């Protein structure tokens, strides 16, 4: 189905009668040094197959798993990020199934007493400008399986167990989302939360966060039969898969057919989902407590200690920035920049005097990424330089010395320099960027522009207000961008 077709079906009348309901399970790979129950290296990214394994990962008879405390500490931090708290008591269970990448014949997971119960995630919908809370059912620790590889056109398959035993935190949401967009916003926020809590490297390319989405549609108050789309590894594919699935299910129901409860895959190229297998029920797995692993018993003081060590989380910054007059859309952009560039942008913004926050945030957001990229490459010492530069620029623009176009140009120039100019004001003069507020001089340019563009000026006289932008633009051009645009506007208006 093409995107246009999807769009037209999404907007069609019959689809509007159905309410989609979406719940998401997300497997977050925890950034421990070693695996969840073995001392093998947990960094499988580029390692040759089957080089990061030991007797425990191979499930050799008699091998005894030993819980990695680091994974527990990261779960405590993740709980805090989910507005929850790690349980004082949780335990591990065996989840039985057979697959070649699971040598033990069962996955070590947590069944009825997980390390995290409850919690919530705040999302913000920028289009409808609405905040929403998505509730968390639970999150549990479990060991990842290995990877089956099926070489093209070969009559054999291969197994790589490097990833077997990698610690995962599986976060299960309530079915609180009702559109593909909400599903994507939730996935994006979960990513921010886990990155800020510093519990995962969050490398989506390497599958550090994998999303399974449960989608159903219904015309009534009762939930419809759901399908689960497994292993989505980008925010975009979460949104596309949910959209596709909503339409597929509505079409089935409108055709008088049934939705079957099943597990489906997502074809990223085509944007379609396809059936993998009918869905197993929980009891198919024959869960049983794992007798080899003692339960996790955590004192409150132990939990408190690692909660206190958790970094500031996204909502902390969003709240602080809101108090400073920064809207949520801008705050989320800053939160992303901070992660991408690690440049201390957030702490810097929060340290600004209240009245300079807004213009400086606007510069950071609007003056393109070269600045941000530059920030990433500079040492702390230079960051201070950037900060004082912004403050100088602010006072210069507030004095009306330079217009906003020229400021952008100036900031770009300054970042290309190895050393900042000694006297910024002098430098601006030398560049010819000083804003020209000389009414006499500007008057003669305005006159010339009006004479050269008689049609535009006539249109303006006849009430076509938007033409004034064009005329101001012409004056800016002739003045090499130095004219004070508000004075130019006044002068043109006087001539009408
Ligand atoms: Mn799982």
Cα 144 to middle of ligand 1, angstroms: 8
Tell which residue, 435, 442, 450, has the closest CA to residue 484: 435
State the pLDDT at residue 398: 78
What value does the CA radius of gyration of the chain take, rounded to a whole number of Å? 29
Query: How far, in Å, CA of 494 to CA of 466, rounded?
Result: 16
CATH 3.40.630.40, domain 439-495, yes or no: no
Cα 137 to middle of ligand 1, angstroms: 14
List, run by run, the mean pLDDT of 10-residue segments along the chain (496 residues).
55 78 98 98 92 95 96 98 98 95 96 98 92 97 96 95 97 97 97 98 94 97 95 96 95 92 94 84 82 97 98 97 94 89 79 84 69 48 60 79 78 72 82 83 91 91 88 88 87 88
Contact (CB, 8 A) for 36 and 23: no
State the pLDDT at residue 486: 85
Cα 44 to middle of ligand 1, angstroms: 19
Cα 280 to middle of ligand 1, angstroms: 13
Cα 277 to middle of ligand 1, angstroms: 16
Residue 212 sits at φ, ψ, to 5 deg, of -110, 125
Query: How far, in Å, CA of 314 to CA of 346, rounded?
Result: 10
Cα 177 to middle of ligand 1, angstroms: 20
State the pLDDT at residue 370: 46
Cα 470 to middle of ligand 1, angstroms: 59
Cα 285 to middle of ligand 1, angstroms: 12
Cα 316 to middle of ligand 1, angstroms: 30
Non-local (6+) Cβ contacts of 350 within 8 A are 317, 320, 321, 324
Cα 154 to middle of ligand 1, angstroms: 30
Whole-model pTM?
0.83
Cα 166 to middle of ligand 1, angstroms: 12
Query: How far, in Å, CA of 31 to CA of 21, rounded?
Result: 32
Cα 62 to middle of ligand 1, angstroms: 25
Cα 111 to middle of ligand 1, angstroms: 10
Cα 283 to middle of ligand 1, angstroms: 15
Give domain limits for the chain: 18-297, 312-431, 439-495
State the pLDDT at residue 116: 98
State the pLDDT at residue 495: 86
State the pLDDT at residue 1: 47
Contact (CB, 8 A) for 208 and 202: yes
Cα 203 to middle of ligand 1, angstroms: 18
State the pLDDT at residue 292: 96
């Amino acid at each position: 189905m093409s995107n246009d077709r999807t769009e037209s079906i999404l907007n069609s009348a019959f689809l509007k009668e159905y309410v989609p309901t979406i719940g998401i399970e997300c497997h977050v790979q925890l950034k421990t040094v070693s695996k969840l129950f073995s001392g093998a290296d947990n960094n499988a990214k580029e390692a040759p197959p089957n080089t990061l394994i030991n007797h425990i990962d191979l499930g050799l008879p008699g091998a005894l798993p030993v819980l990695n405390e680091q994974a527990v500490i990261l779960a405590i931090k993740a709980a805090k990020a989910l507005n929850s708290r790690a349980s004082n008591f949780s335990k591990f269970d065996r989840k039985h199934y057979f697959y070649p990448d699971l040598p033990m014949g069962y996955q070590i997971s947590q069944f009825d007493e997980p390390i995290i119960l409850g919690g919530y995630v705040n999302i913000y919908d920028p289009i409808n400008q609405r905040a929403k809370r998505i509730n968390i059912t639970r999150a549990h620790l479990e060991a990842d399986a290995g990877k089956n590889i099926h070489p093209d056109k070969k009559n054999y398959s291969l197994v790589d167990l490097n990833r077997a035993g990698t610690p995962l935190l599986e976060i299960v949401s309530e079915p609180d989302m009702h559109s593909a967009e909400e599903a994507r916003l939730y996935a994006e926020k979960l990513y921010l939360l886990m990155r800020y809590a510093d519990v995962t490297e969050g490398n989506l390319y390497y599958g550090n966060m994998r999303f399974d989405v449960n989608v159903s549609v219904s015309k009534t108050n009762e939930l419809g039969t759901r399908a689960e789309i497994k292993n989505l590894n980008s925010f975009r594919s979460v949104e596309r898969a949910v959209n596709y699935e909503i339409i597929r299910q509505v079409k089935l129901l409108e055709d008088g057919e049934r939705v079957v409860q099943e597990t489906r895959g997502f074809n990223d190229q085509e944007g379609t989902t396809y059936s993998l297998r009918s869905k197993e029920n929980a009891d198919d797995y024959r869960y049983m407590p794992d007798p080899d692993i003692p339960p996790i018993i955590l004192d409150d003081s132990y939990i408190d200690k690692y909660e206190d060590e958790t970094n500031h989380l996204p909502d902390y910054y969003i709240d602080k920035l809101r108090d400073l007059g920064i809207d949520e859309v801008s705050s989320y952009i800053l939160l992303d920049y901070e992660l991408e560039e690690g440049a201390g942008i957030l702490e810097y913004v929060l340290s600004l005097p209240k009245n300079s926050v807004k213009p400086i945030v606007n510069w950071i957001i609007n003056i393109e990424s070269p600045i941000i990229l530059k920030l990433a490459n500079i040492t702390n010492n230079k960051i201070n330089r950037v900060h004082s530069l912004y403050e100088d620029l602010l006072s210069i623009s507030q004095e009306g010395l330079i217009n906003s176009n020229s400021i952008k140009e100036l900031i770009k120039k300054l970042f290309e320099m190895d050393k900042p100019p000694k006297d910024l004001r002098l430098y601006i003069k030398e560049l010819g960027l000083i804003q020209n507020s000389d009414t006499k001089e500007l008057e003669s340019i305005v006159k010339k522009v009006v004479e050269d563009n008689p049609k535009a000026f006539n249109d303006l006289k006849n009430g076509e207000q938007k033409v004034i932008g064009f005329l101001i633009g012409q004056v800016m051009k002739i003045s090499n961008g130095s004219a004070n645009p508000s004075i130019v506007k006044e002068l043109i208006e006087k001539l009408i």
